[in-house]
């Protein structure tokens, strides 16, 4: 996927590394540009995982574990420290799962991202993910789609999580980040597909604030989809089996990759 901002984004990440003394381990596009239904004026939402300086890990106090920057060119960067990312990964943070599957990867360093992708089938908890996407769809509908006119982009912020719910029910794993892959896997009715294609054709031509009146077709589709999704809330079971200790091991191994001379000695002292 061609991204006109790729060089400015990589330069911005390098500047954050220098300014904060960190190492960016993974960076990807998130939100509408990753999903595949950005408006012409959509922001670039760059999300990243970083390793703080080694001294950061040796504090009694809990240091700040988030870095955020809003830069010219509608460039929104937000990153989590490695330990925070691993804690949220263990809690089944679907946003992080989506970053790892983003079609737009700006940077990968070392083995972290691939380790997390490999562990994902074992750590994925169907009930937690289903509830996340279900509640996302309900909240967006109630706050932004219940009465006309509505922002067209908000329709996609309901359609996508509803299709994610369909995907989880059918495949019992994390849904793909790309909206096109979700549609291919979950939306089989040709009438539904054509109606969605018409919405998408309009979406890519208009700005973030474009207002529409939802058709009777889409009002009825949403009513039926919400009813079907709600009917199975609470029925899914989880067999996730990745203990936190295993992620502690990932943390150690990634840090050793970054500090191969310093870390082994420190860890030996800790284990004595």
Highest mean pLDDT among 62-66, 210-214, 242-246, 262-266: 210-214
Instruction: Tally DSSP H helices, then E strands, for the chain.
Output: 12, 7
The whole-number pLDDT of residue 264 equals 65
Q: How confident is the model at residue 265 (pLDDT cuts 50, 70, 90)?
A: low
pLDDT bucket at 236, cuts 50 / 70 / 90: confident
Q: Residue 168 pLDDT > 50, yes or no?
A: yes
pLDDT at 272: 47
Q: How far apart are CA 146 and CA 139, in angstroms?
A: 10
- Mapping DSSP to helix (H, G, I), strand (E, B) and coil, where does residue 151 land? strand
Q: Using CB atoms within 10 A of its CB, is residue 240 exposed (0-12), middle (13-18) or buried (19+)?
A: middle
pLDDT confidence tier of residue 269, bands split at 50, 70 and 90: very low
Over 50: is that where the pLDDT of 1 sits?
no
Distant-in-sequence, close-in-space partners of 206: CB < 8 Å, separation ≥ 6? 39, 40, 152
Contact by Cβ (8 Å): 79, 9: no
Mean pLDDT of the chain: 92
Identify the pLDDT of residue 234: 81
What pLDDT is attached to residue 4?
67
CA distance 100 to 123: 14
> Buried (b) or exposed (e) across 208-231, using 16+ Cβ within 10 A?
eeeebebeeebeebbeebbeebee
Most confident of 70-74, 137-141, 234-238: 137-141
244, 251 Cβ separation under 8 angstroms: no
Q: Is the pLDDT of residue 214 over 60?
A: yes
What pLDDT is recorded for position 185? 97
Nearest in space to 28 (alpha carbons), one of 10, 53, 54: 10
* Lowest mean pLDDT segment, chosen from 60-69, 82-91, 135-144, 187-196: 60-69
More confident residue, 241 or 34: 34
Question: What integer pLDDT is reported at residue 240 of this predicted model?
Answer: 78
More confidently predicted of 15 and 233: 15
> Who contacts 94 (Cβ-Cβ below 8 Å, separation ≥6)?
129, 132, 133, 174
Other Cβ atoms less than 10 A from the Cβ of 195: the count is 16
CB atoms closer than 10 angstroms to residue 159:
24
Q: How many CB atoms lie within 10 A of CB 242?
A: 16
Instruction: Report the alpha-carbon distance of residue 179 to residue 193 in Å, rounded.
Output: 13
Q: What is the pLDDT of residue 268?
A: 57
d(CA 151, CA 66): 31
| pTM of the predicted protein model | 0.92
What's the rounded Cα separation, in Å, for the pair 46 and 36?
A: 15
Burial of 116 (0-12, 13-18, 19+ CB in 10 A): buried
SS3 content of the chain, % helix, strand, coil (to 5): 55, 15, 30
Name 215's Cβ contacts closer than 8 Å, sequence gap at least 6: none
pLDDT at 40: 84
Please give the residue that has the higher pLDDT: either 272 or 222: 222
């Amino acid at each position: 996927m061609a991204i006109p901002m790729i060089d400015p984004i990589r330069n911005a990440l390098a500047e954050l590394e220098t300014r904060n003394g960190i190492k960016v381990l993974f960076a990807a596009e998130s939100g509408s540009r990753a999903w595949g239904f950005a408006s012409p004026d959509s922001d670039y939402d760059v999300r990243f995982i970083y390793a703080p300086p080694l001294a950061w890990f040796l504090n009694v106090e809990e240091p700040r574990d988030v870095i955020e920057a809003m830069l010219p060119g509608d460039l929104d960067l937000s990153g989590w420290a490695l330990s925070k990312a691993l804690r949220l990964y263990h809690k089944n943070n679907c946003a992080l799962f989506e970053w790892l599957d983003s079609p737009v990867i700006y940077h990968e360093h070392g083995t972290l991202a691939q380790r997390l992708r490999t562990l994902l089938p074992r750590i994925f908890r169907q009930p937690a993910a289903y509830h996340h996407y279900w509640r996302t769809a309900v909240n967006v509908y109630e706050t932004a789609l219940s009465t006309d006119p509505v922002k067209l982009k908000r329709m996609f912020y309901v359609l996508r999580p509803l299709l994610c719910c369909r995907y989880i029910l059918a495949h019992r794993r994390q849904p793909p980040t790309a909206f096109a892959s979700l549609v291919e896997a979950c939306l089989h009715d040709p009438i539904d597909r054509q109606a969605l294609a018409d919405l998408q054709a309009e979406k890519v031509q208009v700005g973030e604030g474009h207002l529409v009146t939802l058709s009777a077709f889409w009002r009825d589709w949403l009513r039926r989809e919400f009813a079907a999704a709600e009917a199975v809330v609470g029925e899914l079971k989880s067999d996730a089996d990745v203990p936190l200790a295993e992620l502690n091991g990932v943390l150690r191994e990634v840090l050793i990759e970054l500090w191969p001379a310093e870390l082994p000695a420190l860890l030996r002292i800790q284990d004595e």
